[in-house]
Chains A and B, each alone.
Chain A
């Protein structure tokens, strides 16, 4: 490697590390306070037009950071029988959405909540429902089955009923409002 190239690499790595630190980029450091709260715990707001249009025409859009890549792969491989409904897509749309989900999945995220969800799933399990993860059940243990069944909520899959920022990846406890 030439001298000037080494210098360039050195300068870039120093400046990028510096700006990451300044912005609180390392999420484990960024979050503070109680478990799951704080700046580093929210998932980054990610979006894709096809994901929004296709997934969002039947249900709220679930942030990719809620499940690991292997779970999304399983979901996307079974769209013809998607929780009892046919949700098949043409190949191009399917592949674009599958890639978007994989790239932003819980095991690719640095935010605290995604990390914890991912850690709560045994390595040999591939859950398709977020509400089946140990992270979810522990976090919602004070919410009764009857509360979930309220007309205004429906089921545990309707995150957005109580977490209004859910589609943007904001599940912070301070934002929770459980409707009557």
Chain B
């Protein structure tokens, strides 16, 4: 009886994080509406220019998403410490955007590294929309 209880717990704790990219987009849509009453949907095009936009970091170096992910999100990228990053585009890597905790963890870190601030829900949604649209 106790085991069944734990099993149930495990099942639910896993299912909280498991998601499809579409479900994640819906979560970000809800947030984006709270952040901005005039929210007008996500755009893959805006996501693409966000992905490629270069920023001058306060340390003086140029940085963008493509610094580590390369300019083609169907390719593997590389961290600054030499580790392979699997492709960001869902067509090349179906595991992308299926774990909301993981997605939030990396947005949390990388937005601060690249933009030196948190990303808005609008930006996160555009970004995912773009990476789902790459064929």
A residues lining the B interface (CB < 8 Å): 56-60, 80, 84-88, 90, 154, 157-158
CA distance A15 to B110 in the complex (A): 54
Q: A86-B110, A88-B109 are in contact. List 18 more A-B contacts (CB 8 A).
A: A57-B83, A58-B79, A58-B80, A58-B81, A58-B83, A59-B81, A59-B82, A59-B83, A84-B59, A84-B80, A85-B109, A86-B109, A86-B112, A88-B108, A90-B105, A154-B82, A158-B81, A158-B82
The interface of chain B, by Cβ under 8 A from chain A, is: 59, 79-83, 105, 108-110, 112-113
Taking CB atoms, residues of chain B closer than 8 Å to A87 are 109
Count: A-B pairs, CB below 8 Å: 33
Closest 8 pairs (CB-CB, A-B): A59-B81, A86-B109, A86-B112, A58-B79, A86-B113, A154-B82, A58-B81, A85-B113
Distance in angstroms from A151 CB to nearest chain B CB is 10
Bound-state CA distance A164–B80 (Å) is: 20
Chain B positions within 8 Å of A57 at CB level: 79, 83
Q: What is the CA–CA distance of A133 and B86 in the complex, to the nearest angstrom?
A: 33
Bound complex: CA of A173 vs CA of B82, how far in Å? 23
Give the residues in chain B near A154, CB-CB below 8 Å: 82
Nearest-neighbour CB distance to chain A for B88, whole angstroms, equals 14
Q: Closest residue of chain A to B109, judged by CB?
A: A86
Of B59, B83, B110, chain A has the most CB atoms within 10 Å of the CB of B83
How many Å lie between the Cα of A154 and that of B81 in the bound state? 8
B81 near A157 with CB under 8 A, answer: yes
Write out the residue numbers on chain B whose beta carbons fall within 8 Å of the beta carbon of A85.
Answer: 80, 109, 113
Q: Which residue of A lies closest to B114 (CB)?
A: A86
B residues near A86, Cβ cutoff 8 Å: 108-110, 112-113
Residues in chain A near residue B83, CB distance under 8 A: 56-60
